[in-house]
Amino acid sequence: MTTVAKTFKLGGDLEVNRLGFGAMRITGEGVWGPPKDPESAKMVLKRAVELGVNLIDTADAYGPDVSEQLIGDALAPYAKGVVIATKGGLTRQGPNKWLPVGRPEYLTQQVEMSLRFLKTDVIDLWQLHRIDAKVPVEESLGAIKKLQKAGKIKHVGLSEVKPHEIDQARKVIDIVSVQNQYNIGDRKHEDVVEYCTKHGIAFIPWYPVAAGELAKPGGKLDEAAKKHGASVSQLSLAWLLHHSPVILPIPGTSSIAHLEENVKASELSLSDAEWAEIESAAK
pLDDT at 211: 63
Four-residue CA torsion sign, 260, 278, 7, 228: positive
Please indicate whether residue 62 is annotated as part of the active site.
yes
pTM: 0.96
Residue 223 lies in a domain: no
Residue 77 lies in a domain: yes
Whether omega before 205 lies within 30 degrees of 0, making that bond cis, reads no
Residue 249 lies in a domain: yes
pLDDT at 1: 62
Residue 227 lies in a domain: no
- Other CB atoms within a 10 A radius of the CB of residue 112 amount to 12
Q: How far apart are CA 155 and CA 94, in angstroms?
A: 30
Residues 6 or more apart in contact with residue 128 via CB below 8 angstroms: 87, 88, 89, 102, 107, 137, 140, 141, 144, 156, 157, 158, 159, 169
Residue 245 lies in a domain: yes
pLDDT at 215: 77
Query: 17 has which bridge partners?
Result: 7
pLDDT at 73: 98
Instruction: Please provide residue 15's backbone torsions phi and psi, each rounded to the nearest 5 degrees.
Output: -80, 125
Domain hosting 49: range is 7-211+239-256
Residue 73 lies in a domain: yes
CA atoms within 13 A on the CB side of 96: 2
Total domains present in the chain: 1
The CATH number of residue 159's host domain is 3.20.20.100
Nearest to 60 by CA among 38, 31, 82: 31
Q: Mean pLDDT in runs of 10 for the chain (283 residues)?
A: 88 98 97 98 98 98 98 98 98 98 98 98 98 98 98 98 98 98 93 98 92 78 91 94 97 96 94 88 76
Q: How far apart are CA 254 and CA 240, in angstroms?
A: 22
Residue 243 lies in a domain: yes
Contact 54, 7 (CB under 8 A): no
Residue 233 lies in a domain: no
